[in-house]
Amino acid sequence: MSRGMKIGLIGITVALVAGGAVAFRINEEKNAGTEVRMEQVGRRDLVSAVTASGKIEPKTKVDISADITGRIIRIAVREGEVVKKGQFLIQIDPAQYQAAVSQAEGAVASTRATLVQTRASRDQAERAWKRARELTRLGPNLIAPAAAEDAQTAFDVAEATYQATQAQLLQSQAGLREARDNLAKTRLTSPIAGRVVRLAVEEGEVAVPGTFSRETGLLMTIADLSVILAEVQVDETDVVRLTTNDSVEVTIDAYPETTFVGRVTEVSHSAQLSPTETASGSNDRAVDFDVEVTLDHPPPGIRPDLSCTARIVTETRGSALSIPIIALTVRDHERVPNESAPMVDTNATRRRDREEEGVFVVRNGVATFRAVRVGIAGDEYFEVVNGLRQGETIVAGTYQAIRDLEDGGKVRAADTSERAAEES
């Protein structure tokens, strides 16, 4: 045998040995099972919470707007200033409204004078009619019938004129009250005690009533910051879990180092609708409900419209049997012959009937799927209502391993030291 042939045989032998070793290792790893993270079922304190975002608002907030049109000639406060109830805020030019009051006062005076004249005319006509009526009673020849009729007609006209003048006087007095009311509206005062959180105008601008737009007539906003709210929007799937007085932890973006405590004081009974949804009546997005949280001790100097996040505690469980949330999975469940068929045989119904929630319980290196019923969900763990016992070992990760794992499959514990080194 030549030297070249010997070298070739040696190379083939080495290749066969190496291939056999690789095949042996692959087969060994396959027989050893899927590498998973395992955990024992234990007891923990669980807190179920709903997280929602929103903004900070005062309990009481009043928008100051103009009820009349006029040029602003004086603003007596600045944005951020604290004001008292009844304190003077803004003066609108009163010139035209003072003129209107003077005109209305003149109309009232003139109508009163006319009323005096019409009363005198009525009284005179009444006396003439009474004389004519008395003469007619005493004898038919003492006064002509036409003269008696004319006296009665004159009295009726005088009485009607007097009544009309009285009505005109009432109308003039109403006009005077309206003119005085408009004049009073040129001087705006604060309806509450609080802080000016928004000043939307400057001296010289024209104030107009916000008939068609609230923003158009807005002059300033005053807020009572003694009671602060976190107004958040909660999804429809979570709002049914909330009740008043639920405990809440609120984080405000402007105060990242502090968590504030509060309680739920109001849960809206209707969904929050956008202007387009209100107009069209359509709803193509997720439905949110407004939830009001009252802060127990808000920070001094807090301002409205700050962004915040609320963690609303809905339920708690002390020392509850629990499993990691990632451990819970869904597998198909085939019906046994004795199980009755559903009344409505649809694809969705059949899919729900075949699927059930559970975990993989590990015993002697074999993972067996077992249905479980869970209760509340904490941040990382589910409460176990039934299906498991304390101390049993379950597959707790990874997500990919649990998703691909089959009932009765072999598993082996992952090297925790290697995983810790990778994570670090």
Instruction: Indicate which CATH number applies to the domain containing 289.
Output: 2.40.30.170
Based on the domain organization, do 305 and 340 belong to the same domain? no
Q: pLDDT in tens for each of the 424 residues of the chain?
A: 444 454 444 455 445 444 544 444 444 445 568 999 999 999 999 999 999 999 999 999 999 999 999 999 999 999 999 999 999 999 999 999 999 999 999 999 999 999 999 999 999 998 988 888 888 888 777 788 888 888 889 999 999 999 999 999 999 999 999 999 999 999 999 999 999 999 999 999 999 987 666 677 899 999 999 999 999 999 999 999 999 999 999 999 999 999 999 999 999 999 876 554 544 455 556 789 999 999 999 998 899 999 999 999 999 999 999 999 999 999 876 543 434 344 444 455 444 456 799 999 999 999 999 999 999 999 899 999 999 999 999 999 899 999 999 999 999 998 765 454 444 4
- Looking at residue 411, what is its pLDDT? 93
417: left (phi over 0), alpha (psi -120 to 50) or beta: alpha
Q: Is residue 10 part of a domain?
A: no
Q: Which residues span the domain enclosing 263?
A: 227-316
Domain final position from 316, 331, 355 = 316
- Looking at residue 339, what is its pLDDT? 40
Q: Is residue 85 part of a domain?
A: no
Count up the domains in the chain and report the number. Answer: 3
Based on the domain organization, do 234 and 251 belong to the same domain? yes
Q: What angle do CA 178, 204, 93 make, to 5 degrees?
A: 25
- Looking at residue 263, what is its pLDDT? 96
Q: Is residue 119 part of a domain?
A: yes
- Looking at residue 215, what is its pLDDT? 73
Domain final position from 278, 294, 316 = 316
The reply to whether omega before 398 is within 30° of 0 (cis) is: yes
Q: Is residue 412 part of a domain?
A: yes
Cα gap 289→366, rounded to integer Å: 47
Say which CATH number the domain at 373 has: 2.40.420.20
Q: Is residue 109 part of a domain?
A: yes
Q: Is residue 83 part of a domain?
A: no
- Looking at residue 136, what is its pLDDT? 82
With a CB cutoff of 8 Å and minimum separation 6, the contacts of 329 are 357, 358, 359, 360, 402, 403
Amino acid 264 reads V
Q: Is residue 113 part of a domain?
A: yes
Based on the domain organization, do 312 and 370 belong to the same domain? no
Domain final position from 163, 185, 207 = 185
Q: Is residue 216 part of a domain?
A: no
Radius of gyration of the chain (CA): 44
Cβ count within 10 A of residue 101: 21
Q: How far is CA 252 from the centre of its chain?
A: 17
- For 312, the 3-state DSSP assignment is strand
According to DSSP, the β-strands at 70-75 and 366-371 are unpaired
Q: What tokens were used for 83?
A: 């004001």
Based on the domain organization, do 254 and 339 belong to the same domain? no
